[in-house]
Structure 1
């Protein structure tokens, strides 16, 4: 065991004492965070408009600050992106993260000098929690790879702008820099296939011990490595590889293939990072759920998911949440987001300490590969092309195909019942794919990077959806076919209806 591994155990014990304090005092720490961030922002334009100086309690806050999504906060955020100061948080943001929007294609989320360190600390503490619980620290003596976006940053009104993972790459602690791969030069490669090939070359003879990234990207990396070494398992290429860290998508659909590629059931750490803040991480290999970070500059609110679209939905703070209830997650942050609906839903699996699982999105969605495609985007993509082509669409639904035939990339599979068929179904599908890429930057990245192949449209027989709903006992009334599913329950049923 090297010096870093020894010291990491000491540091892990220290961090665990801090986390225990947070576990035992979560509600009090949330109240402290609430008062701190409201007081800090009371002289901003947003704070003055919402009477922050008069807010003393959470009830006061709810009376003054409505729940808003990105589009509803856009007038304030656009002022921030134009370089105005003291709009939602004192001064200017340290960064703007570029991410996918719901209707606008791209959105910008501010990161302040106060919020940036919380991203780094949370990622660090996730690893230290693993070390403290398991005693396994040898991975810090070897190489670690973080499959992420390019760290190349642009500027918008004098503010550095980029993807969250690229921004975070600039803040990796010095004590990890020598262990960290890929190199900065390789990390800056924009073309994903070229980047993976370069990473394979750069890492294949290294002592890789920790690998981090979303499952489909890591699977592609593993496939390329295995091909380079004549079909070897990853454990035979990297005999000291012992820990996989992921976030952003559900690991379960990928687990079997990943473990087959690696050669054993590797330890994993799930994280819940977002552009808006680092929300939670898995702090135990033996307990379900992610530890909610209650002292990280974020004050959380929770809206019962079944009330979310009501005119006056219930809003509760941490002390009033219930176990196993589906909540829409609302954030108030030390980067200046207020009453912000992040779009995710969570459930509490423990209140001592407070632990959550991410249960989905507040609307139907697909995010099997980290793309966060929502209903408005698929509807626009399909209907705009159908109108252009003079094609009549009766009904449709979309699902991911995460286990394609050998030799093919995963894809989105669209099951469409046409009133009038396209003349060329493949050409029609390609146009829809291009339209969806324009609406969703994550999907664009996955297609450009050859993580996904372009979508496939399956033409269905007449009255397919009527017959399907009838078979489910859901014909008529308020029952609707979900336009999007993050699994293949509906898709598997519809395969028998393909023309």
Structure 2
């Protein structure tokens, strides 16, 4: 065992002891977090507008602070982006995490000097918790790869702007820098295919022991490794590879293929990071649920998912939640997000400690590759082009197609019933794809980086959706076909209704 691995074990034990303290007192930790957030922000523009000086209880807080999404909070965020201090949080942010928006196109999520260390600490503690539970610290002595976005940052009114993963790349602890791959220069490559080729060239001869990334990105890396190694399994390329860390999308659709590529089952850790905050991580190899981080600068609220769109939905604190119930997740953070709907839904599978499973999005969406494409975006892209081209749309739905023939990139598959079809379906598809890229920067990045190929439209027969609903026993009434699905349950049936 190397020096780093030996040193990591007592450090892991220390971290787990600290974690156990707040795990046992989670509700109290949340109450303390809320009080601290209100105290820190009471002199900000938001704090003054919402009478933070008069808030002493959670009930007071709910009366003063409404639930908002990014667009609702945008008037304040725009002030921050324009360089104003003390708006949502004291001072100015250290960074803006640039993410995809809905109507806005781009969102700038503030990261403060208080919130940024929590991202790094949570990622570190996920690994240390694993070491403490399993005793496996050998990966610390080898190379680790983090497949992530470019670390190149731009500036907006003096504040650094980048993707969250690219920002975090600048904050990797010094004791891991020598172990970390790929090189900074390779990480800066924007074209994903070129980047993967460069990563393979850099790593194929290295002692890779930990690999981290979004599952489909990792699968592409594995495919390239196998090509370059003459078809070897990953376990034979990297003989000491022992830990896979992932997040961002549901791993299950990719699990079988990734394990087949590796050639054996290995331990894995699921994490739940978001630009808005690091929310949870898997803390046991015997349990797939995620430990909610209640002591990390975030005060959580929960709205029953079936009440989310009510005029006055129930808002619950941690101590009020029930097991196995679907909740929309609301965040209040030490970067100045208040009553912020992140768009995810979760359910609790344990309250001792508080552990969650991510169940989906409050709205229909596609995020098979981390693109976070939502209904408003596909509707805007399709209908804008259709109106320009004089094309009539009866109904449509969109789903990801992950299982493609060898050598063919995955794509979004659109099933459209036209009332007035386009003269040239290929040209129409191209315009819709370009319109979607303009609305969603993640989707743009995936197309530009050759992770996805442009969308493909399947033209459906007349009355296809009516016939489909009839087969499902859902014809009439208020039953609707979702415009977006993150699986192929609908798409696979609709395939039999194509022209």
TM-score interval for Structure 1 and Structure 2 normalised by the shorter chain? over 0.9
Where does 1:470-481 land on structure 2 (aligned, <5 Å)? 470-481=470-481
Offset, 1:407: 1.9
Where does 1:265-414 land on structure 2 (aligned, <5 Å)? 265-414=265-414
Offset, 1:224: 0.8
Is the aligned partner of 1:221 residue 2:212?
no
- 3-state SS of 1:400 partner: strand
Q: Distance in 1 between matches of 2:377 and 2:319?
A: 36
Q: Is the 8 A contact 2:323 2:347 kept in 1?
A: yes
- 3-state SS of 1:296 partner: coil
Structure 1 unaligned spans of 5+: none
Q: Distance in 1 between matches of 2:135 and 2:142?
A: 16
The residue that corresponds to 2:41 in the other structure is 41
Where does 1:6-405 land on structure 2 (aligned, <5 Å)? 6-405=6-405
Q: Is the 8 A contact 1:412 1:456 kept in 2?
A: yes
Number of matched pairs:
499
Q: Is the 8 A contact 1:151 1:167 kept in 2?
A: yes
Q: Distance in 2 between matches of 1:142 and 1:165?
A: 22
Q: Distance in 1 between matches of 2:189 and 2:471?
A: 50
Q: Distance in 2 between matches of 1:154 and 1:368?
A: 28
Q: Distance in 1 between matches of 2:203 and 2:453?
A: 26
What do residues 416-440 of structure 1 show as CA deviations (whole Å, max 9, x unaligned)?
0011221221221111111111100
Q: Distance in 2 between matches of 1:254 and 1:452?
A: 16
Where does 1:407-426 land on structure 2 (aligned, <5 Å)? 407-426=407-426
What do residues 175-220 of structure 1 show as CA deviations (whole Å, max 9, x unaligned)?
0000000111111111211111111111110000000000111111
Q: Which moved more, 1:470-479 or 1:318-327?
A: 470-479
- 3-state SS of 1:283 partner: strand
Structure 2 unaligned spans of 5+: none
Give the TM-score normalised by the residue count of structure 1: 0.99
The residue that corresponds to 2:487 in the other structure is 487
Q: Distance in 2 between matches of 1:214 and 1:427?
A: 32
What do residues 272-331 of structure 1 show as CA deviations (whole Å, max 9, x unaligned)?
000000000000010131000000000000000000000000000000000011000000
Offset, 1:23: 1.0
What do residues 439-497 of structure 1 show as CA deviations (whole Å, max 9, x unaligned)?
00111111111111111100001100001111111111111110000100001111111
Q: Which moved more, 1:74-83 or 1:467-476?
A: 467-476
Offset, 1:145: 0.2
Offset, 1:385: 1.0
Q: Is the 8 A contact 1:288 1:349 kept in 2?
A: no
- 3-state SS of 2:469 partner: helix
What do residues 356-413 of structure 1 show as CA deviations (whole Å, max 9, x unaligned)?
0110010010111101100000001111111111111100000111111222111110
Q: Which moved more, 1:382-391 or 1:290-299?
A: 382-391
Q: Distance in 2 between matches of 1:412 and 1:57?
A: 47
Q: Distance in 1 between matches of 2:496 and 2:97?
A: 43
Q: Distance in 1 between matches of 2:251 and 2:22?
A: 27
Offset, 1:46: 0.2
Q: Is the 8 A contact 2:398 2:412 kept in 1?
A: yes
- 3-state SS of 2:61 partner: helix
Q: Distance in 2 between matches of 1:450 and 1:129?
A: 36
Offset, 1:231: 1.1
The residue that corresponds to 2:459 in the other structure is 459
Q: Distance in 2 between matches of 1:436 and 1:265?
A: 38
- 3-state SS of 1:4 partner: helix
Q: Distance in 1 between matches of 2:406 and 2:142?
A: 34
The residue that corresponds to 1:429 in the other structure is 429
Runs of 4+ in 1 over 2 A off after TM superposition: none
Q: Distance in 2 between matches of 1:148 and 1:388?
A: 38
Q: Is the 8 A contact 1:153 1:162 kept in 2?
A: yes
Q: Distance in 2 between matches of 1:56 and 1:214?
A: 41
Q: Distance in 2 between matches of 1:123 and 1:314?
A: 32
What do residues 52-110 of structure 1 show as CA deviations (whole Å, max 9, x unaligned)?
01100000000000000000000000000000000010000011110000111100000
- 3-state SS of 1:210 partner: strand
What do residues 331-353 of structure 1 show as CA deviations (whole Å, max 9, x unaligned)?
00000000000010000011000
